[in-house]
Amino acid sequence: MRFFNLQQELTDTQKWLYGILGFVVLIGIWWGLAEYSSITVPKGVETTQYLPSTLEDNPGNQAKLDSILRADSIKLQNATEFEKIYPMIPTPLQVVESVPALFAKDNILWHTWVSIWRNLKGYFWALVIAIPLGFLFGLSPIFKGMFKNQVDAMRYLPLTALTGLFMLWFGTSEQMKVAFLAFGIIVYLLPVVMQRIEEVETTYLKTVFTLGATTWQTVKNVYIPSVMSKLIDDIRVLTAISWTYIIIAEYINREDGIGGMIQLKQRFQKRPDMFAILLIIILVGFFQDRIFVYLDKRLFPHKYYKTAITGLREIKYGIYLVLTIFAVKVFQEIYIPSASSMTNNIVYIVLISAVLFMIYGEWRVRKEVKPI
């Protein structure tokens, strides 16, 4: 097979083989960088790796600097055993060895779930606000003329610089973190919704106009399906960006969440733990991406299948149930926090019902046509 072939498609076996090869190469590069940045120090002897900045900046402390360096020199000369440490990048093995302690001592599963739940709540409010506003601005010539330039300019806001404002408005509680995350998503999502409306093919619009469709029928049967089928890909891309905002928000108040855990490990210079937490975020992001791919295939099957297939109705019912119970849970936390235990029981029952609907639908789909 040629190295560069613009029309060559890999087989499934080749994809697996090259995927494994790429993973091995990345691990090798990681290990090589860790070894390159490693240093050898006396075993069991703590030397001064970084001199105090106050001593470095003050010329009058030269005698103290000389004393520190002389003490380290004596330690090095008297040392009989040495060990290799990795002050910059830990090895993959060190990162793997740090994972059990994260689960056993740091309760990383709970912190990860807290961050995921914040992510979901931020997305909920962002979608509830951005999609209706996007359709309003995109479909109304008056609103489009009034606000399009302002909406486009919002994308240049330095969101990390706005954390101070959100702290003034919402404090440092959970409300502030969710609001900051939702705003960060709205800034990017609102212009995208308006752009997707402009991209609706005129062929469809002319067809429904010829058939005598009303304005609402045009919006319902043309704009909403066309825009949402493309918008889910944009939301999928924003999922990766949203984790940046989660970490920033959780840095402010380190009560819980995976961002607070990273900052805590950074404070105590637990580099293997930091890398392990970053890998957990990547893993969670990967699963989130797969979920969006699944939702895209099942909610907008015309993008993947040539003909209508049975089973999709049950799957859609299951997905709608999940989304509905999620919205109920978000509102319950805000308006009826005391009913959390009762709501949780209802959530579990509905989720099980939704999963059963989806499993049954998937079983019917597997018996039908194959994707394109």
Asked if 148 and 218 sit in the same domain, the reply is yes
Asked whether residue 313 carries a pLDDT value surpassing 80, the answer given is: yes
pLDDT tens-digit readout, 200-218:
888 888 888 888 888 888 9
User: What local confidence, expressed as pLDDT, does residue 242 receive?
Assistant: 85
Asked if 64 and 107 sit in the same domain, the reply is no
User: What local confidence, expressed as pLDDT, does residue 73 receive?
Assistant: 62
Asked if 249 and 275 sit in the same domain, the reply is yes
User: What local confidence, expressed as pLDDT, does residue 194 receive?
Assistant: 92
User: What local confidence, expressed as pLDDT, does residue 41 receive?
Assistant: 73
CB 115 within 8 A of CB 181: no
Does residue 69 lie within any of the structural domains?
Answer: yes
Asked if 111 and 248 sit in the same domain, the reply is yes
Distance, CA of 304 to CA of 302 (rounded, Å): 5
CB 139 within 8 A of CB 196: no
> In sequence order, which residues have a C-beta less than 8 Å from that of residue 265 and are 6 or more positions away?
271, 273, 274, 277
Distance, CA of 90 to CA of 180 (rounded, Å): 32
Asked if 267 and 297 sit in the same domain, the reply is yes
What's the domain range around 55? 12-91
What is the rounded average pLDDT of the residues 155-175? 85
Domain count, the chain: 3
Percent of the chain predicted with pLDDT > 70:
87
What is the rounded average pLDDT of the residues 265-271? 85
Asked whether residue 13 carries a pLDDT value surpassing 80, the answer given is: yes
Which of 10-14, 158-162, 322-326 has the highest average model confidence (pLDDT)? 322-326
Distance, CA of 31 to CA of 12 (rounded, Å): 29
Distance, CA of 103 to CA of 101 (rounded, Å): 5
Asked if 59 and 154 sit in the same domain, the reply is no
